[in-house]
Amino acid sequence: MFSLGDYFTKEISGNEYDFEIIDNVTYESEDYLLADNEEGDTFVFIDNDGDEPEYLEELDLADEILDFWRYSQDNNNIGDWEEDEYYDREDRVNTSQDFDNENYDEDSDY
């Protein structure tokens, strides 16, 4: 089983490359590993829970997986409260007094 940051060597099309795992992706109920070689190219491997990841030779599917991964990387900041514009806008709206429809007397006991 490979994790982020693990290294392995694999021969692809007669060339031997050193890879580093950069992410795990689940696409259409299958698990894949994304790995960069020493030149910075990203390759897709099938995560088969074996000793070595299996190179995904279907280039169209590999491109779909990489596009899916890139899209998810660009749109994954919804939970980032400090940088996400949506939450900045909501924080400003929720702090206004427009939602207070009663006059409360701070000194009164209820």
76-102: per-residue pLDDT in tens?
Answer: 555 555 555 555 554 454 454 554 555
Longest distance between any two alpha carbons in the chain, whole Å: 83
Is 105 a domain residue? no
Tell me the residue range of the domain where 74 lies: 7-90
Residues 6 or more apart whose CB falls under 8 angstroms from that of 33 comprise 2, 21, 23, 24, 25, 44, 45, 46, 47, 53
Place of tokens 């997986």: 65
22-76: per-residue pLDDT in tens?
Answer: 999 999 989 999 999 999 999 999 988 777 889 999 999 999 999 999 988 876 5
Structural domain total, the chain: 1
Is 102 a domain residue? no
End-to-end CA distance of the chain: 61
Is 103 a domain residue? no
d(CA 20, CA 56): 16
